[in-house]
A and B are shown apart, each in its own frame.
Chain A
Amino acid sequence: GDSVTQMEGPVTLSEEAFLTINCTYTATGYPSLFWYVQYPGEGLQLLLKATKADDKGSNKGFEATYRKETTSFHLEKGSVQVSDSAVYFCALGGSEKLVFGKGMKLTVNP
């Protein structure tokens, strides 16, 4: 079945550092890909998405490109802030229901 593998962390960065969170997937057909973010004590929020190959999703300075050839959807941000401290989930929507990775906790220190 469909599955998502992502970096699990936890990861600690200094403010203004570059962030990459790797995400790869296994799916039949042409799934949609998502990044969700969970701030402390809250539910998940959709951060960005891409629905077809070579699409780039972007939001709040974060970007991810749907790479069909490498079955990847890596999340990047050029300069993280303390307010980006959260848990990040990669997710896949294919022939089955939305499937989530295990999440990666990011802490950004001033």
Chain B
Amino acid sequence: NAGVTQTPKFQVLKTGQSMTLQCAQDMNHEYMSWYRQDPGMGLRLIHYSVGAGITDQGEVPNGYNVSRSTTEDFPLRLLSAAPSQTSVYFCASSYSEAVGYGYTFGSGTRLTVV
């Protein structure tokens, strides 16, 4: 059982470039989300989805787009990369939006924007 799979693990972008961070889960979880982790800031929610076709903004959504065409996949798009988006990105999923279930996390994507 793969759980939550994120690709790539590492990426270097130039300012202004665009890219998509991939996230896939095989647990039939309805709820998926993207976080970024920065030193001294903990984890901050970027976007989330409660099911296919439904997405919403989190705490820090600017500069990022998401879509959820299938239950399994929840890609995160950087439209025009900026150095402030240098971070480690984590995808997480859960059986339900009900937070008592806890989340399953991917292993992360370390992004550097130069």
Contact = CB atoms under 8 A, between A and B. Distances in A.
Contact of A49 (B92, B102, B107): B102
Nearest to A42: B107
A103 B42 contact: yes
B105 A32 contact: no
Interface residues of A, number: 22
**Consensus secondary structure, chain A interface:** loop
Interface size, B (range): 20 to 34
Nearest to A96: B99
Interface string A20-53: 0000000000011010100001111110010100
Nearest to A41: B107
17 contacts: A32-B99, A32-B100, A43-B4, A43-B6, A43-B105, A44-B103, A46-B103, A89-B43, A93-B99, A93-B102, A97-B33, A97-B45, A97-B48, A100-B42, A102-B41, A102-B42, A103-B42
B58 A97 contact: yes
Interface of A: 8, 31-32, 34, 36, 41-46, 49, 51, 89, 93-94, 97-98, 100-103
B75 interface: no
